[in-house]
Structure 1
Amino acid sequence: MASGLPPLALDTTVVIPSFNSASYLASTLEACAAALSRTSWSAEVIVVDDGSTDATSEVVEEIARTFPFALRLMTQPNSGRFLARWAGIEAASGRNVLLLDSRVLLGPESLRHIESALDADPSRQIWNGHAVTDPAAPLVGHFWEVPVHVYWGDFLGNPRPVEVRADNFNRYPKGTGVFFVPREVLVDACLAVWPEKNAALASDDTKLIRHIAEAHPIQLDPGFWALYRPRTNARAFIRHSYGRGTFLVDSFGGTSRGWTAGLLGLAALPVAGVAALLGLSLSGMLPWAGWLAAGALVVGASPAVVAATRGCPRRGLGAYLAYLPLFVIPYWAGLIRGLRVHGSQLSVRKHARRTAVNGVGR
């Protein structure tokens, strides 16, 4: 363990990064406390206010007065989720850390499920939560159900306990929105994938989890589940799509030749398509331009067809088809930004461990 961190005085620290999530925090913390209370663990909760402009700090301070576990508030200028989590990890005094997003509701028995599993087999130390989209979310919040069913429909259509490892990493859904891990392992992973440039534009989950999976099996188990409450309006959806385009490059750029080619192809294809469409139109070849436009629509809608065969809910299919026009341009623009910021990773994936970040290791 790197020096400069507090002693391991508790079983678990819950770290919740929060940016303008004041309206969600009361229910998030209530569900977290309920799940912790069903275990025998000693625990604390740290909320990191990442430069919010709403009442995040006031809400947490008020809840802390009656919260059944130690509840601490940390504040920092807006720096992105990676650095917000890192601030909480640095301050954590638990042997284990539960990363929990501010809009995620833990299942009541989720942590008890982990405790029972650890009692039976202490080697099963790392757990990726099975996140279920809130069925009551507005339609726009269900858009991503199509992409995730395209990639991970085999698991989502039949959730069951599996181990995520380096050799099957891309076969299963994963994320740090609800992620349980020994603090020492998490610190090592954070330092290994530390952002080289703007941390707010860096992946906050895939790279970190991939690094962990290279050395430790990760449990993905529907017994450890949580309800994910997605964005509730089109404006937030567009902003999120822009960010996900950038994170995609940082998450997968340089991991294989196929991914590198795919990322470059995704960046070039819309430009080539628009150029071809304009060229055909200006040349008076309007029927051909129409066929090209129709083909683009078919290609764009095809993921919904694939997702439908893999058990995607109808509401997710409807959300995808309804909001695809709002998704394409922001996501592509985010991808271009990602290639500009993280383009150096396309040829060489760097794994150098950072040993002197924010005072750690000094």
Structure 2
Amino acid sequence: MSETLGVVVPVYNEERWISGALEALADALGYANLKADVVIVDDGSTDSSPVILDELSGKYGFRVFHRSNQGRFLARKFGLEQLNTDYVLLHDSRVFLQRQSLDFVWNDLKSNEDMSYNGDVVVRTERNAYAGFWAGLTAIGWHRYFRTRKRIRVDIENFEVFPKGTGCFLAPRNLLKSAYENFTSSYSNLKLVSDDTRLIRYIAGETGYFIDPRFVCEYESRDNFRNWIKQVFYRGTTFVDSYLTYSNPVRRFFFVGTGSLVILGLLGKSHPKHLALVALLADGAAGKVSRYCGASTHDALCVSALLPLFGVAFTGGLLRGSWNLLLAKMCRGENEKTD
């Protein structure tokens, strides 16, 4: 196994966080005594991120590439193509590795060669209701892990119920290359594709991956309403591409839930006060469930408070995703006629 770790960091308008994120990465590499080839891909940033990246490149010896904006998926793919290391860490610009994380995972690889590792992501929620919402919501969706936070091996059989994300994901380079080569999307616009779920689903099917609380990082979430709403809208769009185009437990749960909401809406037309009461009770119940699944009281309250706004923005994202799905199908149909 090569003693050099490859790292890919896509960056787009992250002037507030990128310095701290890369300093934490450099500290974790130093603690593990690891050589690294760090590739930072500036995806057409319009703030001061390019200047900051050039300064950090001189300080740490990281390689920086400035490109026009093409989206995170292609930025990561480009970064991966610049590397020749055996292992690659996919690292987001808002992720702060804990100091011992790389030391643990690099030593663990010696007895689990060719395995992949999904980072245990701890959302920084202090004085940030929007971050608290995400922490509370993920506690519900992935409660099997967050209630215990014990090492688990994820494969294609249990993939849907455990955390996954390319924000902090370490894997063999050849496996990541294969995942990109076999990547397919329902969308023609690659800026809207889910580069998390589809890529990692491929890896889960090939070799599986570990989630271990000793490979841990912190995540700095959006901290204002405008950026949070944009993020929710985007996640609604990628949700269609990630889960609604093939049979899986998440899709079945989604359709059952959506059907229930439609029925409640129709019934509520004649009893609007009752519908409002049901909505309030549902918000409260969501917070209770979040707390039961391991979320803090703060995060559970954030779920209850922001769930209605989330529902509106996420639905908008679903509609955009469905429209892009329809457009892609129409384009494929036209191409087939031409052929």
The reply to whether TM is greater than 0.5 is: yes
**2: distance between equivalents of 1:156 and 1:331?**
23
Aligned residue for 2:336?
A: none
* Partner SS state of residue 99, structure 2: coil
How far 1:262 moved relative to its partner?
4.5
Residues 246-297 of structure 1, C-alpha deviations (whole Å, 9 max, x = no match): 11111112331654455456666666655654x42xxxxxxx2211222133
Change (3 A) 1:109 1:92: same
2:171 maps to: 181
Structure 2 residue aligned with 1:71, among 62, 68, 75? Answer: 62
What stretches of structure 1 move > 6 A for 4+ residues in a row?
A: none
Determine if contact 2:286/2:304 at 8 Å carries over to the other structure: no
Q: 1:81 and 2:72 equivalent?
A: yes
Structure 2 Cα separation of the partners of residues 143 and 325 of structure 1: 12
- Deviations along 1:315-344, whole A, 9 cap, x unmatched? 111221222232121110101111222369
> Measured at CA, do residues 124 and 109 of structure 1 come closer, stay the same or move farther in structure 2, by a change above 3 Å?
farther
Partner SS, residue 158 of structure 2: helix
Q: Distance in 2 between matches of 1:217 and 1:22?
A: 35
Matched, 1:159 2:153: no
In the TM superposition, 1:239-258 aligns within 5 A as: 239-256=230-247
Judging changes above 3 Å, is the alpha-carbon distance between structure 1 residues 170 and 259 closer, same or farther for their aligned structure 2 residues?
closer
The alpha-carbon distance between structure 1 residues 17 and 137, as it changes in their structure 2 partners (threshold 3 A), is farther
C-alpha offsets along residues 24-50 of structure 1, whole Å, 9 cap, x if unaligned? 111111100111112343211111111
Query: Are residues 1:208 and 2:199 paired?
Result: yes
For the 8 Å contact 1:126–1:181, the answer to whether it is kept is yes
Counterpart position of 1:308: 291
Report how far residue 222 of structure 1 moved. Answer: 0.6
Which consecutive unaligned segments of at least 5 residues does structure 2 have? 330-339
Q: Distance in 2 between matches of 1:344 and 1:207?
A: 20
Question: Per-residue deviation at 1:164?
Answer: 0.6
Asked if 1:106 is matched to 2:77, the reply is no
Q: Please tell me the root mean square deviation across aligned C-alpha atoms, in Å.
A: 2.4
CA deviation digits over 1:202-237, x for unaligned, max 9?
Answer: 101011111110011201101100011111101111
Query: Structure 2 counterpart of 1:37, which letter?
Result: G
Which of 30, 35, 41 lines up with 1:37 in the alignment? Answer: 30
Q: Percent identity?
A: 31
Question: Which residue number in structure 2 is paired with residue 12 of structure 1?
Answer: 5
Q: If the length of structure 1 is used for normalisation, what is the TM-score?
A: 0.84
Contact 1:267 1:335 in 2 (8 A): no
Residues 303 and 123 (structure 1), Cα distance of their counterparts in 2 relative to 1, 3 Å cut: same
Partner in structure 1 of residue 324 of structure 2: 341
- The amino acid across from 2:279 in the alignment is A
Normalised by the length of structure 2, the TM-score is 0.89
In 1, distance between residues paired with 2:141 and 2:251? Answer: 18
What is the distance in 2 between the residues matched to 1:300 and 1:62? 46
Deviation larger for 248-257 or 309-318: 248-257
